[in-house]
Amino acid sequence: MTSARQMVVTLLTVAVVCSIILSFVYSFTTPRIIETQKNMTLDGLKQVISAHEFVEIIPDTLWNAVDSLGNNTGIVFRVFPQGYAGPIPITVGLDLDATITGIRIASAAEGLKETPGLGVKITEPDFTEQFTGKTVSQINIKSDGG
């Protein structure tokens, strides 16, 4: 009975100590993780449209692009259409004339879950740059979505 009680006390002590350490690490790293995510988002927005500042309209979905004088220069939006292995994070910049200023598709490190051979080719400049400079009406999408 004593050895069983001793094992329970030891296990409980280890669990409590590990929980305390884990909560400390979580509270220490969470602000850094949030800051890094904000910086990555800002870098992604700057890649699709030139702007001094981005005003968030809908969290993580829609931003106004603003120049240094406070004038609206366009919008940036993020969509997640369904791909083969999951959603495809796409960020698109549009100027005031609804002309595409840039398209950025997240990499595998940023959440893209596509097939390594063919699917990830959508992140390459050969694919994304074909849309830059076109208006929304110039892009033809087939009835099957492609």
**Tens of pLDDT, residues 35-90:** 988 888 888 889 899 898 999 999 989 999 999 898 999 999 998 888 777 788 88
- Measured distance CA(66)–CA(55) in Å, rounded: 7
Domain with 64 in it: 1-146
Q: Average pLDDT, stretch 114-138? A: 80
Q: What is the band of 135 on the pLDDT scale with cuts at 50, 70, 90? A: confident
Provide, rounded to the nearest whole percent, the portion of the chain with pLDDT above 70: 90
Q: Total structural domains in the chain? A: 1
Least confident of 37-51, 89-103, 112-126, 129-143: 112-126
> Is the per-residue pLDDT at 123 higher than 90?
no
Q: Average pLDDT, stretch 84-105? A: 88
pTM: 0.72
- Measured distance CA(116)–CA(108) in Å, rounded: 9
CA dihedral sign, ordered 104, 105, 111, 116: negative
91 half-sphere exposure, CB direction, 13 A CA radius = 23
* Cα Rg, the chain, nearest whole Å: 23
